[in-house]
Amino acid sequence: MRLDLEDGDDIMVDMGPLLDCVFLLLIFFLVSTTMKKPEQIIPVELPEPAISSVAGSALNVQLLVVDAGGNFYWGATPISQKQLHQHLKEWGETDPDRHLRIRVDRNAPSRFLVQVLDLCAYEGLTNYALHTQDRNAPHANETQAHRP
């Protein structure tokens, strides 16, 4: 059988039904999906920190400072690492629930802070707060309280 391919009829694909199918699928997916509802705002009243409501003298707070050079100060008195261990040991033996405030310079090597935290854990001290302070900005500090 011989085919005549030189016939002048061009083969055309009708795009109408294809567009109808695409639009029907689009409408189906739009209708079948659930739109996320906006979350409602719940008013939350945060409690005031308990430590700020008590006077500092009533807390019996002791300050431990680690400066940028890695030097330790018990209050305002410079101490060595051995004296630091002795002070923390005495602090833990007398009353481990008393509050210890550890102020660390931001530029201090982290090993000194880790050493202080290890000594606190070793002596059973759990009521302490960490304050980091930059020497250049003395009033800007971050506070993290630790209470297991």
- CATH for 55-146 is 3.30.420
Task: Express each pLDDT in 61-70 by its tens digit.
Answer: 888 898 888 8
Structure tokens at 148: 């297991």
- Pick from 99, 118, 101: which is nearest to 66 by CA? 101
- Report the DSSP pairing between strands 100-105 and 128-133: parallel
pLDDT band at 24 (very low <50, low <70, confident <90, very high): very high
What percent of the chain has a predicted confidence (pLDDT) above 70? Answer: 73
Residue 22: pLDDT over 90: yes
Task: Express each pLDDT in 84-130 by its tens digit.
Answer: 888 888 877 887 677 888 898 888 888 888 888 898 888 888 888 88
pLDDT band at 47 (very low <50, low <70, confident <90, very high): low
Q: What is the mean pLDDT of residues 21-27?
A: 94
Domain residue spans of the chain:
55-146
Q: Give the C-alpha separation, 88 to 92, whole Å.
A: 6
